[in-house]
Structure 1
Amino acid sequence: MWSYVGKKSNPRWLWHAIDHRSGKVLAYVFGRRKDEVFLQLKELLEPFGISRFYTDGWGAYERHLEALKHEVGKQNMQKIESKHINLRTRIKRLVRKTICFSKTIQMHDIVIGLFINRYEFEVSI
């Protein structure tokens, strides 16, 4: 999920993985749209023993996921797209045309991370 910090030329990506059956967030990381950040997420997902990945066609997935475990396409992406809509509705700094935006990477990640921890992992603060 794309957003930005300060200005649109400074993009920030929320990478998250959800359970295909339950729709629950399993893990998330913040960073650029780079292979290294995807590998951080993949490392967080290893304890779950995931047998199938459903993604868009971005190259890092093809470079770092086994072809037999990876399926590209929109048909299995509805739940994660629904999560994106909910996040954009509830966190105004994720809306593309807004006057509410993060000025620092640290605040961007903290605000979104706290929201995810509260509503997805049911962690009370």
Structure 2
Amino acid sequence: MTCKFCGGTCIKNGYQANGKQRYKCKHCHRKQQADYSYQAYIPELNRTISEYIKEGVGIRGIARLLEISTTTLIKRIISISKDITAPHVTANAEYEVDEIKIFVGRKKDHIWVAYALNCADKSVVCFSVGPRTNETLSKVTDKLTNARLIYTDKLRQYKFLISPEIHRTAHRGTNHIERNNLTIRTHIKRLARRTICFSRKAIMLYAVLKIYFWG
């Protein structure tokens, strides 16, 4: 059979515990089966999970559609996010920076998603999840040191994190990212302002955002 991972040639390699024939790729040496009884083992499943997340389907909804357990799905989402790399930050470009306020675990535990939006193509180039502190915001602003201009709201912390030569707080300077905040909240249920769908752990929120932005 043909390898499902690299397209190489597979040879027989014993049997699984359930009696099904197991194969091993001669090129990448990964073991696999011709077909799977449990849907979660299908290699192509990662792409489907990413597409469902981008379309705003919740965890339990994806689990029902793919006929896999929610525990397996959560582990797979975290695994997918680890393989995604952040895009290159273009130099001499204009960016808008803003934060989204949400909660994790319970409504009293507020957390913020700070991110930067490229004004030219409206793409998210970097983001950070954490409390609204200099440490969280600096993870975004430090990657924009080669920007031509950075537009933000009048949050006091940005004055100390961004060079005055490229920092702007002009009227309607953050129109694009403010509109994008609404789009994100509409697509991802866990970011909606009033919702029963929320992240129980910050690592899960980070993984979903990484897939949504760059997956």
Which deviates further from its counterpart, 83-92 or 73-82?
Answer: 73-82
Equivalent residue number for residue 185 of structure 2: 88
Equivalent residue number for residue 12 of structure 1: 111
Partners of 1:16 and 1:28 in 2: CA distance: 4
Q: Which has the higher helix share?
A: 1
2:111 and 2:129 in contact (8 A); partners too: yes
Equivalent residue number for residue 33 of structure 1: 132
- Structure 2: 5+ residue runs without aligned partners? 1-99
Partners of 1:74 and 1:87 in 2: CA distance: 23
Equivalent residue number for residue 164 of structure 2: 67
Listed as ranges, the matches of 1:73-112 within 5 Å are: 73-112=170-209
2:112 and 2:132 in contact (8 A); partners too: yes
1:26 and 1:45 in contact (8 A); partners too: no
How many correspondences in the alignment?
Answer: 116
Partners of 1:74 and 1:94 in 2: CA distance: 26
Which deviates further from its counterpart, 107-116 or 90-99?
Answer: 107-116
TM-score by length of 2: 0.51
Residue deviations 1:23-70 (CA, integer Å, cap 9, x gap): 121211111110011111122334xx2021100111110112122211
Larger Rg: 2
**What secondary structure, in the 3-state scheme, does the structure 2 residue paired with 1:68 have?**
coil
